[in-house]
Chain A
């Protein structure tokens, strides 16, 4: 069976983070471009050639950098999943079934293995990975209703609420074994979800339930969640060659510090933390839980970073606080900038997971989301950014501003 990984299409809700001519699949999470995660899972679970459908060259370039799979690149023609699968059709050869994996999943290889295993042992017409339903955010996912035997009855794309679907229902996980004839349905103009429902009604479609690592990276909050879950798996202290740590710095594992990074006196790094290549961590700065800095990020003296996904080449000046935020590549954040992160009750950003870790009350857990800063933006010194404010790419914010524009993402 051949594997198709879909990594085409636009950046969607992540647009402020993705420069023109690039793809959201090359956004970095804990030291790797997003596209590596589904490819690594395919490599471990299936381990064969992968047909990679992409729209922009950077995805292909990053993908071939991964040695565990052999990439057959196919440029996507047209838009939508149907067109993407059609683009891959000529590479599928005469096989009856293919494995389809979305390229924006951070997923355990075991999930893919389970799909394949179930497919071979039940011999259905189609196998669909399903994951636990997040009641609050069903409107952002595909949802599959199943029967008592785990057969898919119907797939609904982004239902308005949980009441709009027949239960039992689960989130559709973006990993499928599909019959090759589904492509004929696309040729006839059927949409992807309609085609899935056609297969489900005419044949046997099994739901393969997976409750381990699985994040569909579609919204800014997903980047934080993926960072968090990947860092949760980090154990011990890894320090690569050429890292220079001054005598009075404190590093509390788990932490990963990559090549050529410099950590100045008095810095406190309290894991789980990831620091990419060639970073500069200034004196008395404080990097704590779930801070993830990609390559060549500079953190000035006395600054604090926590639960943040910081893309490459970002400069964070002195005395700045970055919490629960996503910082686009090449941006520059002045000194004394504060990201406010405590969300008011009425604000519910899509896909923001509640983590009930040491809460004041389980009933009303504290929910936090800081700023989403576009690539190449410049935030003037002394600026205060409201929770879930969005700074547009290449924007320049006056020093001393109080910024709440673009909220409500």
Chain B
């Protein structure tokens, strides 16, 4: 039977579950096979994991084979019944599943016709019943599981346990992340590495159409399409993150932790950029491209927009930015020889993945920029660049945005040098500025935290806000507005400052907050002065993130001083104050910034 484990298995699973809570958080559950039992024990319900732990004692369940799940509803409301794990009619099989099974209605109807009783509204519940049905025909759990997986359509990462073969966990993956964690005397199957990092640092990232099972001492992986075992020895990856990287450390929320650790994330990213030649390869691909596109979703799109601005400004190259879910409006013009840069923190964003596939089909080459090594988007790209921000657990992207901006700025400068728009000394000068960004940001953060907190007390009483800027500050304004919307639930919109008088200014009245992002660029500062004045004239409260000693100082009602660094660093120096404003506004309005309503960290649903 099982090997010796560092903690009681149920405790190990519970701790893993806590670390995955960020992936979804409306319900959770645990299933286990107690020794000698022919039934699984299932504990599950709606609510936060810690509350459910108090109610059910997830960490104290007996047994050595355990599956657990935390859910973010896609099919069926978050209720006790709809929580995972789901079981078959005899309570002999328990299943947890991420993704969406598209043909579940047909399967459910068919299985119900065979006499299976369904209790939930979820797509997942068809899996245990399907396996139960197939097992009754073939008498072997693994064969039944494989056959069941072949029938499923859609996306899935599945873990299944059966009281018939109590020391195995069966798994399958297609289009949803799944990772094996290899320990000594125990093994893990998880949707993300932090779940088992505390107990195991050896991981195998599974690929689509892989199925198999783990026992306490080994793992078996098979390719479903080719029908033969996979030799995974060379795919075992040693994880270098420490467990602290994936935990809240000493902070009240993941978000503030991730905001304050940006200097380190920037430093690691710089080391990554300078430590390998992938950025040089990317420049070569860009040079040989006919047309260049850049796409992303959410916060990553703001980084993409910044990149396109830099490419035009520094390198005179036209780069078309577009929002990933709108790819069908752009794909018509794509030909062989074109190049798409895809920016995705998780590397699993479905909209970006769909855009990538559509462009690739038309012959475009793809470069990915991601924070998660070996995730779907990098795997499907011709070249993968990585930010090294470490795992980001707060749902609102913070450190991944600034590290993306850093990596893309580096790429743009390298390209501008390669096409001769920048001289070697000019390029080195800018790279020097980029290299100093960890230090600049680390000095900035403590000086603005208290000022941002004070402002938030006032802002939390407001119902809307504008974020205005020009040039390189515009993506930053968009990012600041998004942060305020998504975690503080205050309606915020970003506009190019010059555009504000073409409509938006109509809403401005006495006390209306307008946040100006003022890049350290004398020309833009001068232009923005007029915009600040026209807002002030209409009674707006003007808040500025502006370099120290800015000429706008006497026009601004509240100043969050940023360092007077090179303008190219604007996303790195001006975004952290906006992140802090959003964070503290959410906190002072009584919301949990780590768990914004209706949002998931990685959007894997179209």
Binding site for B on A (CB under 8 A): 110, 114-115, 117-118, 121-122, 127, 132-135, 148-150, 162, 167-170, 206-212, 353-359, 361-363
Contacts and interface: CB of A to CB of B under 8 A. Distances in A.
Contact of B457 (A117, A168, A357): A357
B91 interface: no
B249 A118 contact: yes
B247 interface: yes
B260 interface: yes
Nearest to B260: A209
A167 B457 contact: no
Contacts of A363: 556-558
29 contacts: A121-B244, A121-B247, A121-B249, A133-B446, A133-B447, A135-B447, A148-B263, A148-B264, A148-B267, A148-B438, A168-B446, A206-B250, A207-B250, A209-B256, A210-B250, A210-B252, A211-B449, A211-B584, A212-B587, A353-B454, A356-B455, A356-B458, A357-B457, A361-B557, A362-B458, A362-B541, A362-B543, A362-B558, A363-B558
Contact of A135 (B244, B263, B450, B458): B450
A128 B442 CA distance: 19
A212 B252 contact: yes
Contacts of A133: 446-447, 449-450
Given A167-B447, A356-B458, A149 B442 contact: no
A137 to B, nearest CB: 10
B453 interface: yes
Contacts of B451: 135
B18 to A, nearest CB: 13
B572 interface: no
B251 A209 contact: yes
B582 to A, nearest CB: 14
Interface string B106-143: 00000000000000000000000000000000000000
Interface in B557-606: 557-558, 584, 587
B454 A211 contact: no
A167 B449 CA distance: 13
Contacts of B264: 148-149
Contacts of A148: 263-264, 267, 438, 442
Interface in B423-457: 438, 442-443, 445-447, 449-451, 453-455, 457
The CB with the most chain A CB atoms within 10 A, among B263, B438, B453, B458, is that of B458
Contacts of B263: 148, 168
Contacts of B438: 148
Contacts of B267: 148
B208 to A, nearest CB: 35
Contacts of B558: 356, 362-363
Given A115-B250, A209-B250, A362-B455, A168 B244 contact: no
A361 B458 CA distance: 11
Contacts of A207: 250
Given A122-B244, A355-B457, A117 B252 contact: no
B185 interface: no
B250 to A, nearest CB: 3
A211 B249 CA distance: 13
Contacts of A168: 263, 442-443, 445-446
Interface string B244-271: 1001011110001100110110010000
Nearest to A169: B446
Given A110-B252, A167-B443, A356 B457 contact: yes
A209 B443 CA distance: 16
Nearest 6 CB-CB pairings of A with B: A208-B250, A356-B458, A362-B558, A362-B557, A118-B250, A132-B449
A148 to B, nearest CB: 5
Contacts of A359: 458
Given A110-B252, A149-B264, A362-B541, A132 B458 contact: no
A259 to B, nearest CB: 30
Contacts of A357: 457-458, 461
Contacts of B455: 356, 362
B529 interface: no
Contacts of B383: none
Contacts of B243: 121
Nearest to A208: B250
Given A148-B264, A148-B438, A354 B450 contact: no
Contacts of A210: 250-252
Given A132-B453, A354-B454, A356-B454, A162 B447 contact: yes
Nearest to A162: B447
A25 to B, nearest CB: 26
A132 B556 contact: no
The CB with the most chain A CB atoms within 10 A, among B249, B257, B453, is that of B249
The CB with the most chain B CB atoms within 10 A, among A118, A127, A359, A362, is that of A362
Contacts of A361: 541, 557
The CB with the most chain B CB atoms within 10 A, among A110, A121, A210, is that of A121
Interface string B538-557: 00010100000000000011
A211 B458 contact: no
Contacts of A132: 446, 449-450, 453
A169 B444 CA distance: 10
Given A114-B251, A133-B446, A212-B587, 18 more contacts: A118-B250, A132-B449, A133-B450, A148-B264, A150-B249, A162-B447, A167-B442, A168-B263, A169-B446, A208-B250, A211-B449, A356-B458, A357-B458, A357-B461, A361-B541, A361-B557, A362-B543, A362-B558
Contacts of A209: 250-251, 256-257, 260
A118 B242 CA distance: 13
Contacts of B261: 150
B435 to A, nearest CB: 14
Contacts of B251: 114, 209-211
Nearest to B264: A148
A169 to B, nearest CB: 6
A62 B453 CA distance: 34
Given A149-B264, A363-B556, A114 B447 contact: no
A245 B251 CA distance: 44
Interface in B199-254: 243-244, 247, 249-252
A133 B454 CA distance: 12
Nearest to B450: A132
Nearest to A122: B244
A68 B557 CA distance: 47
A355 B451 CA distance: 11
Contacts of B556: 363
Contacts of A149: 264
The CB with the most chain A CB atoms within 10 A, among B250, B252, B449, is that of B250
B443 A211 contact: no
A350 B554 CA distance: 26
Contacts of B443: 167-168
A169 B442 CA distance: 9
A270 B442 CA distance: 43
A211 B256 contact: yes
Nearest to A110: B252
Contacts of B458: 356-359, 362
Contacts of B543: 362
A135 to B, nearest CB: 6
Contacts of A127: 250
Contacts of A150: 249-250, 261
A361 B244 CA distance: 43
A56 to B, nearest CB: 34
A121 B244 CA distance: 7
Contacts of B449: 132-133, 211
A121 B260 CA distance: 19
The CB with the most chain A CB atoms within 10 A, among B244, B247, B450, is that of B450
Contacts of A117: 250
B553 to A, nearest CB: 10
Contacts of B250: 114-115, 117-118, 127, 150, 206-210
Interface string B131-171: 00000000000000000000000000000000000000000
